[in-house]
Copies of this chain bind each other. A is one copy, B any other.
């Protein structure tokens, strides 16, 4: 087993001084609509506006003094890049971030604001990896992979520890799944703390590799992606899929219309900004991809970084 509750607790101790303890919010209207009770774990209110601050900070602060001196390298379309840049800045070491040229502008600005050194590349997985490898060769730094990294997964799992501290008697936890870092960390932490809990991964139908892989019992890479949820356009990692197969109860998919409706309802009723990827779990409730009635549902809102000039309900 690659990570366990002890690794996640160690991550929590390591990152606690550098992250927010995010609030858990409830909303009478959205709970009533589904007949259950929803507890929103607000990682959109986390440092850098996303749960990614947890995993990146854990990986950066776990580096030995010698390794840290050479700096860190990663590739990211956004939140993970900002998270690595911020963690490196806090530790006083250089961070090189490879970003696809079609990344959202606020995400590029965020990486710059934390002092990350950006290398733009073509928006393909191959181009990302080529640019990343070149930087690793040049700097001899450490790769902080966005999700296929045990320290990153352990860091992401710390949100579930906090959620279960605040609301111990949850029946299930919903999390979005892209590369699978959040979902795998959440599943390990939550199942260790509360074995009876159900964990459901939620994914856009337009990037449904994890759902298809889960049903096929083998990892099936994405070939075609079409979703507004820019944080979830990634194929699930091998390490992550292995954990998901053993510790996650189901993976369900949602429509694009459902994601947009869910995003708007969270803005309107909960009064917080969530990005499309973060709205995917609530879309699964709205579209009744499982029965939420009488369930106490922990829902991880993964991030809140959006371009306020481009809101999906205004474009359509």
- Give A residues with C-beta under 8 Å from B: 20, 23, 25-26, 28-29, 44-45, 47, 49, 106, 113, 264, 267-268, 270-274, 304, 308-309, 311, 313-314
Contacts and interface: CB of A to CB of B under 8 A. Distances in A.
A274 B304 CA distance: 15
A45 B28 contact: no
A309 B314 contact: yes
A271 B273 contact: yes
Given A28-B47, A47-B28, A313-B309, A271 B304 contact: yes
A271 B28 contact: no
24 contacts: A20-B26, A23-B23, A25-B45, A28-B47, A29-B113, A44-B271, A45-B270, A45-B271, A45-B272, A49-B271, A106-B268, A267-B273, A268-B273, A268-B308, A271-B273, A271-B274, A271-B304, A272-B272, A272-B273, A308-B311, A308-B313, A309-B313, A309-B314, A311-B311
A264 to B, nearest CB: 6
A264 B309 CA distance: 10
Contacts of A309: 313-314
Contacts of A313: 308-309
